[in-house]
Structure 1
Amino acid sequence: MTLQTPLARAQSHLMNGQYKQALKSAKAAMARAPKDARLPNLVGVAMCGLGQQREALAMFQKAMKLDPGFPDPHRNLGQTLILLGQADKALTVLERLCATQPGDEGAQYLVAQALANLGRSEAAEAAAGRAIALAPRQARSYNLRGLMRDQMGQSDAALRDFETALDIDPNNIETLINISLPLARQLRQEEALAVVRKAVALAPGHVGAHLRLATALTETGDRQAAAAEYQRVLKLDPRNAQAIEQLSLLQDPAENAALAPVAQAALKRAPARGADKALLNFALARIADQADDIPRAARHWAEANRDMARQRPYDPEADTALNDRLLGYFPLPPAMAEEEIITPIYVLGLPRSGTTLAEAILAAHPQVAGLGEQIAAGRYFYPLVEAQSPIGATELAQFRSFETQQHPPLPAGSRAFVDKMPENYRLLGFLAAAHPRARIVHLTRDPRDIALSMWRSQFQGGALNYTYDLRAMGHRFNLYARMMQRWHALFPDRIFDLSYEAMTADIDAASRQLADHCGLDWQAQMARPHETGAAVLTMSATQLRQPVHRRSVGKWRAYAEILAPFTETLDPALWPGVSDTGQP
């Protein structure tokens, strides 16, 4: 029997997903031909199919050593390292292959994957572009580049990539999932729901498709359907941390009492110090809080935040330096007062201060488009500040053009748009200078209630790393207070301060004040923001669908002892009257 027979047999088994048979055939052939690089490569692929990725690494390395010019084991080693969370090592292997095989589309695609896993979005986008240039009909590269562009806030470009990928492969599940969120950001909610429903119909067992559908249903206010979708996820994956954590937000106390043992069982099996463990602890804390078991809730929140703080450490020195650089640009000459057809309304403040509610009040007006949390300002100004580049009339004019390009098309008849990115408080001076006629709404709230809300939440991205450590929170709150003092001194007549407490105490009066500040005629529906039909793409989606209430006002008192490291860090000169027990 020739070598070709067991080699062909192993390849046939692999193509049919018969990994045990493939492994047996490839090992038998490798014993007969120990210097044939194809065989350890096949052994490694079969091992990966059986979930033995770590064991496969040695096989791919052996194949590379036997034939350094054979590209397959280089790609397979790189892909396996990415799957094992070793993207840095994968990148070294794959870039070496690209240097010797510049026309290898698969290697370029995997380089893009590795860079994406390392958080290097711009470099990953460029690598995906190189893969596209080499193979313009490969949907996966458009899909990956679309993901990178979406992360960088290039929604239009991301959508074009996803649409191209779907033109090539209309039933690609990952692309259908990925395109849903940027569609929602472009105010195309019906299309966003339709594509992810298609993904679920095509792949009923795809956990990611069900998760994205559940999230989309939450964003559009269909809590019951969202909860049912998360329950379907748990039937497919009983320990899915994301589904358990989101269900704890959507369900009532009785339903969550039944969820508690599911969350406990998942927690026991979750990897130590991982994101899943943190999510499950957040869920269990929420369930305990609903049951008024404060000590148990506090314990789970402490564990969740400790795990998150390890994964996403906060750098107070770097944050202070950034604040200083931002403020160092001011006073800044304002841009020429141009007549703007659409008035910008910036709603800002600390996260969890009520910015989503304020936006919903304003967006209830028929001539106001609520755009949610736009990232155009950060994407434009932060690179200039980091590079210590000058910012003057030219840059401010360029920002206005850039901002318009980043926004979704506004509904016909819009007179104003709302950008409710809370962190824009750091860029308030630039926004005020760029748009002399912009309206600025600053949300305030008892800092202890904000801190408690942050402590109880798990945020996406790295901008809110300070929320996982109480003393770090205090440090950032002090930076915020100093910055707002400066903005009020520079723009005394342009900033409308609206307290969360006042807004929830009298929504009618608050909505009239907002309308007056923003130059709008008050509409009765502005006092009923919970009736909004717009999608809400932040973690406030579940709260906003309820009539305005004051249940969270003063809730910090039950957790005053736990919050002590936070309150002790606050500067009394910036936060007069705030203490462990007193009311500001």
Structure 2
Amino acid sequence: MTQKLSNNKKRRLNEFAEQAWAYASKGKFAAALNICDKADSLFENFPEIVYVRGMSAAMQGDYPSASTWLEQASKAMPKNLSLMVNLANALLFSNREEEAVPLYAHILENDPQLFEKANGYGAYAIALSELGEYNRAMQFFDEAIKRIQSGDLELIKKAAHICHVRRNSDKAISLLEKARSSHPENYSIPFQMALLLMQWNRHDEARALLRETLRIHPGHIGALSLLVASGEYEERQADITRLQTIYEQAEPDSNDRLIGAYALGDEADRSGEYSAAFNYWSEGNRMRRAQVAYHDAEQERLFKAAIAPFSAERFTHAACKGASDAAPIFIVGMPRCGSSLLERALSLHPDLTDAGEIGALQQSIAGRMRKPSTGLIMERLESLDDAGFLEVGTEYARRLAEEHNIDGRAIDKSLGNFGLIGAITKALPNARIIHLARDPMASCLSMFQAHFTAGVNYSFDLDELGRHYNRYLKAMQHWRDVLPSGVMLEVHYEELVSNTESELHRVLEFCNVEWNDACLQTHKAGGSVSTASVFQVRKPIHQKSIARWKHYEAQLAPLKKHLTQ
């Protein structure tokens, strides 16, 4: 039975709310919550008291709790748009962008002044970008940037990233230059600019910005490690010595120690000091493994769930009417398999455009205005019928054109799509899939030495790496068994670097693309490389890395036992 609230009680509760808010706004949260408890003893969950609880949680950075309280308050006061702004922000900071976006839209439509005052343009842009709505997000980023006075540095950096995703490198650099002029002594800006420029093959400019980063922050080991990795230059040996000093003086398990371990491992490998190199990489991987959550059993379950909906019978029917006529080329495989080299070669063809490693397929499977998650993707793979997959293909084609600004036939190098080959085949009947494989030991060593900051959590432990690689091999065998002929082409990295021209002829013929001699000039290609191969791929094709793993055969024994099963 609902408790009746008298005017006297309501007045008293409002007084409690005012008192609690006065304490909360001064950062005296314990006192504020104490008053909220008193109010609850008089009447539980009075909306204004619930609102104070929510704002107290938000001001302390507890956004999940803030979201719960503010949702409850908003249901009781649905016309209070100021409350709705705070709820939308709490949802955004709780990674609940799907729920935040409609609230921002409602506030903008009903009270544009409040929306602007609450920095709604920037928040809305961030939420949209997390849902893959890059085109609309960029429009709101532009509006937000027009309105900032001293320059919201983090907002500009996020906007620059979306420009990069949308293949607009000039605008990304222009935005960061604007931020740099407002914050000339902030070392993170030239560092981010350098990262972007290196990906776009503008190495001389990037090195100058890394030097600028080090002028502002002499101990920036990230800038030093990139400089050392970028190739030969006059001050390189001095930079290596400097990097070694920072590494040795760093606290155990610190970020400087971690970055230094990977960089010094690469340098020792380059110098032929293989035992030292492996010890450095092992140290870096030990630290990275401690930072991530990774469970073999969960990965095994996900692999099985990804391929289960796709038996050979699933591919016996011809493509339905209404299928997208898009014919993207998907390069799939494991990280460090040589995919960047193949992508660069193909991107030099005038009829092809490199899309890079984008999440367009996962986003298309999840659906518009949805945030892709592993759980959602698995659920959709299981539930989609043939017509549903064709809708995925149509959405994928739209995303390439509208969200990623790709005009023409795209090369999608999201390697993890090897688990989604069944979905690709059903969604995009005209697509071509190139599976690029490399010697397992060489591939795994290359992963083990790479400082992956996200998405490759299985690579930091040799046993886990070996088990994951085996799962990948089993998945690829499944696709070989069930796919119709003409859908997937197998290419081996070793053949690609040994017989480059003949292999590229074979790939282009498979993709129904005429030969072009430009495809052999991979070191001259423009465009973006956002992977660990950013430096190697800019060099002419070579065979130096094919048998490099043999220098580490003894140390790789824990890995090899899995790969020989």
Residue aligned with 2:115, SS? coil
1:440 alignment partner, one of 433, 446, 462: 433
Alignment correspondent of 1:158: 137
Please identify, of 390-399 and 104-113, the stretch whose mean Cα deviation from structure 2 is larger: 104-113
Alignment correspondent of 2:341: 357
**TM-score (structure 2 length as normaliser):** 0.80
Alignment correspondent of 2:356: 372
Q: Structure 1's 255 and 504: CA in aligned 2 closer, same or farther, altered over 3 A?
A: farther
Structure 2 letter corresponding to 1:350: M
Q: Structure 1's 505 and 327: CA in aligned 2 closer, same or farther, altered over 3 A?
A: same
Distance 1:266 1:497 in 2: 45
Contact map agreement 1:132 1:138 (CA 8 A) in 2: no
Distance 1:115 1:420 in 2: 30
Alignment correspondent of 1:29: none
Alignment correspondent of 1:533: 526
Contact map agreement 1:343 1:439 (CA 8 A) in 2: yes
More relative contact order in 1 or in 2 (CA 8 Å, sep 6+)?
Answer: 2
Superposed CA deviations along residues 504-551 of structure 1, whole A, max 9, x for unmatched, are: 123222222222111111111111122112122333222222111222
1:61 alignment partner, one of 19, 30, 50: 30
Please identify, of 216-225 and 278-287, the stretch whose mean Cα deviation from structure 2 is larger: 278-287
Residues 125-164 of structure 1 aligned to structure 2 (within 5 Å)? 135-138=114-117, 140-164=119-143
CA drift of 1:63 comes to 5.6
CA drift of 1:390 comes to 2.4
Residues 86-101 of structure 1 aligned to structure 2 (within 5 Å)? 89-92=62-65, 95-96=68-69, 99-100=72-73
Alignment correspondent of 1:557: 550
Distance 2:406 2:244 in 1: 51
Distance 2:280 2:472 in 1: 28
Residue aligned with 1:371, SS? strand
Contact map agreement 2:325 2:430 (CA 8 A) in 1: no
Distance 2:24 2:493 in 1: 64
Please identify, of 379-388 and 366-375, the stretch whose mean Cα deviation from structure 2 is larger: 379-388
Alignment correspondent of 1:230: 210
Q: Structure 1's 453 and 522: CA in aligned 2 closer, same or farther, altered over 3 A?
A: same
Quick check: 1:474 aligned with 2:466? Answer: yes
Alignment correspondent of 1:326: 306
CA drift of 1:412 comes to 11
Please identify, of 394-403 and 504-513, the stretch whose mean Cα deviation from structure 2 is larger: 504-513
Gaps spanning 5+ residues in structure 1: where? 1-34, 45-58, 83-88, 573-584
CA drift of 1:279 comes to 2.3
Residues 449-468 of structure 1 aligned to structure 2 (within 5 Å)? 449-461=442-454, 463-468=455-460
Alignment correspondent of 1:190: 170
Q: How much is the aligned-residue C-alpha RMSD, in angstroms?
A: 3.4
Contact map agreement 1:267 1:277 (CA 8 A) in 2: yes
Contact map agreement 2:323 2:394 (CA 8 A) in 1: no
CA drift of 1:96 comes to 3.4
Alignment correspondent of 1:24: none
Residue aligned with 2:433, SS? strand
Distance 1:143 1:276 in 2: 32
Residues 406-421 of structure 1 aligned to structure 2 (within 5 Å)? 406-409=399-402, 416-421=409-414
- The total of aligned residue pairs comes to 512
Distance 2:355 2:262 in 1: 29
Residue aligned with 1:350, SS? coil
Alignment correspondent of 2:158: 178
**TM-score (structure 1 length as normaliser):** 0.78
Structure 1 letter corresponding to 2:299: D
Structure 1 residue ranges (4+ consecutive) displaced by more than 6 angstroms after TM superposition: 66-74, 126-134, 410-413
Alignment correspondent of 1:303: 283
Superposed CA deviations along residues 26-77 of structure 1, whole A, max 9, x for unmatched, are: xxxxxxxxx99868965x6xxxxxxxxxxxxxx5434654688798997577
Contact map agreement 1:440 1:496 (CA 8 A) in 2: yes
Give aligned-pair identity as a percent: 21
Alignment correspondent of 1:22: none
Quick check: 1:489 aligned with 2:481? Answer: yes
Quick check: 1:315 aligned with 2:308? Answer: no
Residue aligned with 1:303, SS? helix
Structure 2 letter corresponding to 1:351: P
Distance 2:170 2:474 in 1: 43
Residues 24-103 of structure 1 aligned to structure 2 (within 5 Å)? 59-62=28-31, 65=34, 78-79=58-59, 81-82=60-61, 89-92=62-65, 95-96=68-69, 99-100=72-73, 103=82
Distance 1:152 1:412 in 2: 17
Residue aligned with 1:441, SS? strand
Residue aligned with 2:259, SS? helix
Residue aligned with 1:351, SS? coil
Residue aligned with 1:401, SS? helix
Superposed CA deviations along residues 308-336 of structure 1, whole A, max 9, x for unmatched, are: 11221322111111221222112224532
Residue aligned with 1:231, SS? helix
Quick check: 1:239 aligned with 2:215? Answer: no
Alignment correspondent of 2:330: 346
